[in-house]
Amino acid sequence: MPRINRLPDIVANKISAGEVVQRPASVVKELLENAVDAGATRITVSVKEAGKQLVQVIDNGEGMDEEDAARCVERFATSKISSAEELDALGTLGFRGEALASISAVSHFEIRTRRESDSVGIQLRYEGGEPVEKGMAACDPGTMVSVRNLFYNVPARRKFLKTNATEFKHIFESVKAQVLAYPEIQWQMFNDEQELFDFKSTDIFERINFFFGEDFAESLIEVHEDNDFLSLHGYVGKPAMQKRQKSEQFIYVNRRVIQNRMLSQALQQAYGELLIERHTPFALLFLRLDTQQIDVNVHPSKLEVKFEDERSVRTMFYTIIKKAVRSQDFSPDVGGVC
């Protein structure tokens, strides 16, 4: 008798869920990425009890047919790549095909979806990854995913969640990062049934001022550079305006939210002595590189990237920011007014 068992999918999904879904904010991130990948132009995200009771994302994207709707919660089931080579040319935020499998394994999960060309949609419900309901649904074209009672079957994880205030903060950060990255999408958000925002215009400054404070846009320097190797666009804070010790930094690579120590350090160094000691500058920066130059498949959370030519990226990033910041002729002593 062999002692090694091949784990059933449902168990495997529950185990790997630990890497993809750390907290409600991870669910929000994955669902928003799917909505963006589906080509949605309008996305509504609703949470209740900081996502512990409900995370719901409604999009008007391409939707799924019946077969795909049933398949989307399977492990390693994705419409975004079909071969390993395609990993080098990713044009989508998702590619691992494990988010919905993981999320549905540790929640009460419901999906309603309809393609524009279908007259009726489909609704599926799962509990802990087990299918419990399947039927037709009258719904608008697009997809609605509702994730209820996250970690209801993983008590250790549920207990580990922080207060609603803290969990909501993580959710809001995650939503904010996407809302800033995709101004062409109309984003709406509800927290415990209260509307927080509904951005209908594509004006990025409306969003910047909403999130960071009235007139915040005035304290920004535009970064605008294209060369053969990369392009870097966005905004960084004027040095003298960095009143907050830790300003927020949003750095995107090919429109993907990422965390990268090397880039954060390069940013810090580009300001050099212009920053008050231990202060970090504000940044909302979009770095674009040939897809062959980056590897996103570093961790299941897809928050890290590896650069093929890290040195060149670092040097160019540093030089561009430095030039933008120095061109302002600001110093901490000037007091922040022109």
Contact residues for Mg ion (CB under 5 A)? 34, 94, 99
Q: Which amino acid is at 99?
A: A
Contacts 24+ apart (CB under 8 A), 85-93: 87/295, 87/296, 87/297, 88/291, 88/292, 89/291, 89/292, 90/254, 90/291, 90/296, 91/291, 92/37, 93/33, 93/34, 93/36, 93/37, 93/255, 93/256, 93/302
Neighbours of 143 (CB within 10 A): 27
Tell how strand 54-59 and strand 42-48 pair up.
antiparallel
Please say whether the beta carbons of 307 and 313 come within 8 A.
Answer: yes
80 versus 169: smaller Cβ distance to ligand ADP: 80
Binding residue for ligand ADP (CB under 6 A) from 26, 46, 60, 61? Answer: 61
Window 90 to 129, contacts with ligand ADP (CB under 6 A): 94-101
Window 133 to 172, contacts with ligand ADP (CB under 6 A): 143
Among residues 181, 174, 52, 47, the alpha carbon closest in space to that of 107 is found at 52
- Residue listed under structure tokens 């400054």: 205
**291 part of the interface to ligand ADP, by CB under 6 A:** no
Residue 105 contact partner, candidates ligand ADP, Mg ion, none, CB within 5 to 8 A by sort of partner: none
Least separation in angstroms between CB 1 and ligand ADP: 35
Least separation in angstroms between CB 73 and Mg ion: 11
22 versus 209: smaller Cβ distance to ligand ADP: 22
Please say whether the beta carbons of 242 and 224 come within 8 A.
Answer: no
Residue 35 contact partner, candidates Mg ion, ligand ADP, none, CB within 5 to 8 A by sort of partner: ligand ADP
16 versus 143: smaller Cβ distance to ligand ADP: 143
Binding residue for ligand ADP (CB under 6 A) from 17, 27, 35, 257? Answer: 35
Least separation in angstroms between CB 80 and Mg ion: 8
Least separation in angstroms between CB 127 and Mg ion: 21
Binding residues for ligand ADP (CB under 6 A): 30, 34-35, 38, 59, 61-64, 72, 77-80, 94-101, 143
